[in-house]
């Protein structure tokens, strides 16, 4: 049995080598290069490939694997929207992802960044860097005195609710699929409009689906409380960023914490320190005192990386053995 892994970063190597030690019966090859029609040749002789990338899994890439006799692919991430499923179906690909690697990593990031916005740490840090040690007017708001609206109460949303309740904050939630435990606590409101009207802070934890596209827009922002704080650690296309920037300009939105951006492919995870940012909007957002931008790093913890590598390799092995895996993507 042989598995070939693509795009292996240095921080993933320890987890991969541990998996290899625990599975001496499997030959494992890997590269730091991403999978494309050319690099597919590196997997010659393999039974399955393990991948993580923002590049699309195009018909050409999947065809290149098919021509090598490979039709098993395990993703080390959640998202599958960059897979050409029509081609995958034609070649009878078995595909898995890692749907749950560390809800805590992402929930903690949302909580921390939201608290930083409320306590105005960014403008305060800038003051201190310039040796301005005056308090005013950089005054904060206490987390426990806010009403947090959580849109999406799955694994991540649920952990965030627990964290916020630990602060003493009031939490309300909305989800078309209600969690019985949270429902028993009386968390849920019946509509997004209710959540918008009641929340001081709104955090998004829903997938990128057509029905969720630009759910935060000019009309929905108008329904929110003045001085609302927005947190998005889910998917960039949940927000109409132009509407959000207008809300920041008008003062309707007090602050924004964003870990994702609709046009992040080719922008995030690259070093622009010696170049001008090619996207004027992200440059504008980064420069604002009331906006915190992180480049899709909410997931990026040692625990999450370990789970992403381990679960994806386990899924590849299950595919090779003809066994079922809970991580299989049904498409």
Q: Which domains does the chain have, with CATH numbers?
A: 2-101+302-321 (3.40.50.720), 103-293 (3.40.50.720)
Look at residue 162 in the predicted model and tell me its pLDDT: 98
Residue 81 has pLDDT above 90, yes or no: no
Look at residue 199 in the predicted model and tell me its pLDDT: 98
| Per-residue pLDDT band at 214 (split at 50, 70, 90) | very high
| Per-residue pLDDT band at 79 (split at 50, 70, 90) | confident
Residue entry with tokens 């730091």 = 32
Kindly report the average pLDDT of the chain as a whole number: 97
Percent of the chain past pLDDT 90, that is, above it, reads 95
Decide: pTM greater than 0.85: yes
Taken as a whole, the chain contains a residue count of: 331
For 263-283, b where at least 16 C-beta lie within 10 A, e where not — what string?
Answer: ebeebbeeeeeeeeeebeebe
Q: Phi first, then psi: what are they for 195, rounded to 5°?
A: -65, -45
Average pLDDT over residues 160-172: 98
Using only C-alpha atoms, what is the Rg of the chain? 22
Which residues, in sequence order, are bridge partners of residue 29?
4
Write the DSSP symbol of residue 42: G
Q: Residues with catalytic annotation? A: 235, 264, 296
Residue 54 has pLDDT above 80, yes or no: no
**CA–CA separation, 315 and 74 (whole Å):** 7
**CA–CA separation, 76 and 98 (whole Å):** 6
Q: Are the C-beta atoms of residues 181 and 159 closer than 8 Å to each other? A: no
**CA–CA separation, 221 and 219 (whole Å):** 6
Convert the pLDDT of each residue in 229-281 to its tens digit: 999 999 999 999 999 999 999 999 999 999 999 989 889 989 999 999 999 99
- The contacts of residue 135 (CB under 8 Å, 6+ apart) are none
Least confident segment among 16-20, 126-130, 266-270, 291-295 = 266-270
């Amino acid at each position: 049995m042989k598995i070939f892994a693509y795009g292996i970063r240095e921080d993933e190597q320890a987890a991969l080598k541990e998996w290899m030690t625990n599975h001496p019966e499997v030959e494992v090859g890997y590269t730091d290069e991403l999978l494309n029609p050319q690099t597919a040749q590196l997997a010659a002789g393999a039974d399955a490939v393990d991948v993580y990338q923002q590049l699309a899994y195009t018909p050409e890439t999947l065809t290149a694997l098919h021509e090598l006799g490979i039709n098993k692919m395990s993703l080390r991430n959640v998202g599958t929207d960059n897979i050409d499923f029509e081609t995958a179906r034609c070649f009878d690909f078995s595909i898995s992802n890692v749907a749950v690697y560390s809800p805590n990593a992402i929930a903690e990031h949302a909580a921390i960044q939201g608290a930083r916005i409320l306590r105005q740490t960014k403008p305060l840090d800038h003051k201190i860097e310039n040796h301005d040690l005056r308090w005013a007017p950089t005054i904060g708001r206490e987390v426990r005195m806010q009403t947090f609206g959580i849109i999406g109460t799955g694994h991540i949303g649920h952990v965030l609710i627990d964290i916020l309740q630990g602060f003493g904050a009031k939490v309300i939630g909305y989800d078309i699929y209600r969690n019985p435990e949270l429902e028993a606590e009386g968390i849920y409101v019946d509509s997004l409009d209710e959540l918008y009207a009641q929340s001081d802070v709104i955090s998004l934890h829903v997938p990128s689906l057509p029905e969720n596209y630009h759910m935060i827009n000019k009309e929905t922002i108008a329904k929110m409380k003045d001085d609302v704080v927005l947190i998005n650690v889910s998917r960039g296309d949940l927000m109409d960023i132009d509407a959000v920037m207008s809300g920041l300009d008008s003062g309707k939105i007090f602050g924004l914490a964003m870990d994702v951006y609709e046009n992040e492919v080719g922008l995030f995870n690259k070093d622009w320190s010696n170049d001008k940012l090619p996207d004027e909007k992200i440059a504008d957002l980064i420069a604002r005192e009331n906006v915190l931008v992180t480049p899709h790093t909410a997931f990026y913890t040692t625990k999450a990386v370990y789970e992403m590598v381990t679960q994806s390799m386990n899924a590849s092995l299950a595919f090779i053995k003809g066994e079922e895996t809970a991580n299989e993507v049904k498409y």
